[in-house]
A and B are shown apart, each in its own frame.
Chain A
Amino acid sequence: MRDTPLPHATRRPLWPTLLCCGALLALFIGAVAHISHGFELWTFESLRRAQAQQGLLQASPLAATLSDGSRRALWPHADAPRALLVDFIYTRCPGVCQALGSEYQRMQDELARPHVRGGVRLLSLSFDVAHDDVPALASYAKLHHAAPAQWWIAVPAVDDSQRLLGELGVVAVPDGVGGYVHNGAIHLLDGEGRVRGIFDYDAWPQALAAAQRLAGAAR
């Protein structure tokens, strides 16, 4: 396989090659350190959550249509909630979204208690903008007994939805049977649209507590 014998190869100076190897290694190590958050996080999802903890995920101003047909600005807004617990849904989802619906029901019950101070709002945002119109959102709200005082169910415009998913690193992948698989979680946003934390579904009590702390601090 070797075409040309190299009688003088060993006599050639090695330093340009060593310099090149050093530069390549430095580039490689730097790139890996950069994308893995200092060799600690090896998946996009863990990286996204770390960025959220550091306040590096910022959502642009967003307006959406609610399940009652009204349209409103969600953030930033003069009377925007001080803390929003946002999840991404599609109303046809038979699995995890329905389970998340029940977690949101429990959070809604907690927020409706008389001693709980306001400022926290639950928000389920549909990313299935082609299918989830107002009647679909209303059915979802009815199914999960969503009370508009605590829990908004909404759908943004197509472009806004795409932009928001990109900004927050939420990826919905077709599951091959008509639905989607997505890196769903409970996103804690402040009134300016900055993500302050991302929580797994089963960590909803922690998400709620963090939202109440955030709302209290913003008073």
Chain B
Amino acid sequence: MTLPRRARLALPAIALPVLLAPPLRHLLEASMALHMLVEFPLLFATGWAAASLWPRAANAGPRWDVEGLSSALLMLVTASFWMLPVALDLALLSPWVAFAKALNWLAAGAALARAVCRWRRELRLFVLFNLAWMMATAGLLYRESENRLCVNYLVDQQAWAGTGLLGLALLLGALAVHLAIDEPAEAPDAASRTA
């Protein structure tokens, strides 16, 4: 996925101060839905856009990410970790955890900006389906729980965040299905035959 260079420059330049400056960050983090569904994706997109500013090396990617396995794992562990209620609370109560959260999402975005184009179709489907079911599970949990799972958010905010996560899960699931239908599986070594 390639963004226009101006957008790639503008996104980190605008988003980073917004996401890291306390008053604006607190505004986003005052709502659980905005925290999970706007701040996290914005941090991710900022990392992505910043990494896209550097020209991509025309090789098979770094040695530590053969077949995109490491970058895919980074995406999955990042998303699953920051859906935990205790992680969300700690991100608001501890400056160190808040810093780790920003760094984690920025790094995930930066890593994926370079790696996604190298992911095989099967890996893309695996990641998309996994993200979808994780978000659906967390969304249902947040939606249905009658107790506050995060001390920083009210029950109705929790329900809204749960609904948003369910919506995002559906979107990712639909994207995965679209990808599965639209992009047929490659025959073994098809790439090497076409090269």
Q: Which residues of A are interface residues toward B (Cβ below 8 A)?
A: 1-9, 12-14, 16-21, 24-25, 27-28, 31-32, 35-36, 41-45, 47, 166, 169, 171, 173, 175-176, 181-183
Contacts and interface: CB of A to CB of B under 8 A. Distances in A.
A194 to B, nearest CB: 20
A25 B73 contact: yes
A130 to B, nearest CB: 18
Contacts of B85: 42-44
A17 B69 contact: yes
B84 A24 contact: no
B119 A173 contact: no
B9 to A, nearest CB: 21
B192 A5 contact: yes
A183 B70 contact: no
B93 to A, nearest CB: 7
A16 B60 CA distance: 14
Contacts, number: 112
Interface stretch (B11-19, B20-28, B145-153, B165-173): B145-153
A4 B77 CA distance: 26
A17 B70 contact: yes
The 7 closest A-B pairs by CB, nearest first: A44-B89, A5-B191, A20-B64, A28-B77, A17-B66, A171-B151, A20-B70
Interface in B63-103: 63-67, 69-70, 73-74, 77, 81, 84-87, 89-90, 93
Given A12-B60, A17-B63, A171-B152, A6 B191 contact: yes
Interface of B: 1, 58, 60, 63-67, 69-70, 73-74, 77, 81, 84-87, 89-90, 93, 116-121, 124, 148-154, 183, 191-192, 194-195
Given A17-B69, A32-B84, A44 B90 contact: yes
Contact of B86 (A16, A35, A183): A35
The secondary-structure label for the interface of chain B is helix
B73 A173 contact: no
Given A20-B65, A20-B70, A21-B70, A43 B149 contact: yes
Given A6-B191, A28-B77, A32-B84, A12 B63 contact: yes
A16 B66 CA distance: 8
9 contacts: A4-B117, A12-B63, A20-B70, A24-B70, A24-B77, A28-B81, A45-B148, A173-B152, A183-B151
B35 to A, nearest CB: 13
A2 B183 CA distance: 11
A41 B89 CA distance: 13
Contacts of A31: 81
Contact of A16 (B63, B119, B150): B63
Contact of B195 (A5, A20, A27): A5
Given A9-B67, A21-B69, A24-B74, A44 B86 contact: yes
Contacts of A2: 117-121
Given A24-B70, A175-B154, A8 B60 contact: yes
B86 A36 contact: yes
A95 to B, nearest CB: 13
Contacts of B121: 2
A161 to B, nearest CB: 16
B66 A9 contact: yes
B93 A44 contact: yes
B29 to A, nearest CB: 12
Nearest to B195: A7
A166 to B, nearest CB: 8
Contact of A43 (B120, B124, B150): B150
A45 B67 CA distance: 41
Contacts of A181: 148, 154
